[in-house]
Amino acid sequence: MTDRPRTARALARQTLTRDILDAARARLTDEGPTVLSLRAVARDVGMVSSAVYRYFPSRDALLTALIIECYDELGAAVEQADAACDRADRPGRWLAASRALRGWSVEHPGEFALLYGTPVPGYAAPRDTVGPATRVVRTLIQVVVDAHAGGARPPVAAPGAPDVTEVVAPARAFVADRGLADDAPTELVVRTLIAWTALFGTVSFELFGHLEGSVADGDGWFDAVAVRLGADLGLSAEAIDATPARSGR
């Protein structure tokens, strides 16, 4: 990935860049992304503020680097949690991936806010961020797709639910483009998107304090949510063990 530095100067540059990023992430944890002070970061690494501009052309560029790094870290955590499971244990993979998602977020609340909280006002995320940003949802989709390729019963649309095949067309294209599934049923795509949203919504509510008076134990609550969302996707132990060919209802 990163080249070995060939000169003392290049080495210094590399380590200082890392130091700046680390200091920025350290500050991120107790002060939000929007008020991240470049001057304070500079002080932390023993530099004057203007010197930081040798390494990042602007505060936005520093934010972009942080965002990419965090998306990648979160994505890697989720992917590794999934990879550590028995491939055939779909409910276990779903829960492990979900837990990894929350685990990283709870450990890095500042970084979570950077990724999933209020966007920084004047800041527009560049293209480079979308790839790393999709690693989590890609992993979740992979688990769901594997389960249904293995015979899990696909979810059935609620009676009276509006047809949204057109609405989720981009999502299906995303899935197809990455070779995850050639033709996923609409309802499966919909339920996966809902589950993905609900997982992050749960973490967001927990970290931002909206569950304060409602839920006693964030850990236990999240597990309960994740298991139910998985079950809605046909990812319960029962659904997987049942005869695969049984049609819905």
Partner DNA sequence: CACGAACGAGAGCGCCGCTCTTGTCAGACG
Partner DNA sequence: CGTCTGACAAGAGCGGCGCTCTCGTTCGTG
125 binds DNA (CB under 7 A): no
d(CA 248, CA 146): 18
> According to CB under 8 A, which residues from 20 to 79 bind a copy of itself?
30-35
160 binds a copy of itself (CB under 8 A): yes
The CA-based angle 103-109-113, given to 5 degrees, is: 120
Which CB atom, from 32 or from 79, has the smaller least distance to a copy of itself?
32
68 binds DNA (CB under 7 A): no
Residue whose C-alpha is closest to residue 133's, from 78, 176, 75, 172 = 75
124 binds DNA (CB under 7 A): no
Residue 210 Cβ vs a copy of itself, minimum distance, rounded to whole Å = 7
Q: Which of a copy of itself, DNA, none sits in contact with 1, Cβ below 5 to 8 A by type? A: none
> The tokens 């977020």 sit on which residue?
105
d(CA 95, CA 227): 7
Residue 10 Cβ vs a copy of itself, minimum distance, rounded to whole Å = 36
Residue 20 Cβ vs DNA, minimum distance, rounded to whole Å = 10
Which CB atom, from 157 or from 180, has the smaller least distance to a copy of itself?
157
Which CB atom, from 30 or from 182, has the smaller least distance to DNA?
30
d(CA 54, CA 59): 12
Helices (H) and strands (E) in the chain, counts: 12, 0
Torsion of CA 83, 204, 32, 78, to 10 degrees: 0
Sketch the per residue contact string, 203 through 232, with a copy of itself: x for CB under 8 A, - otherwise: -xx--xxx--xxxxx--xx-xxx-xxxxxx
d(CA 165, CA 168): 6
Number of residues that bind DNA (CB under 7 A): 26
> The tokens 């809902």 sit on which residue?
194
Sketch the per residue contact string, 4 through 43, with DNA: x for CB under 7 A, - otherwise: --xxxxx-xx--x-------------------xxxxx---
> The tokens 């700046």 sit on which residue?
20
Q: Which residues bind DNA (CB under 7 A)?
A: 6-10, 12-13, 16, 36-40, 46-51, 53-55, 57-60
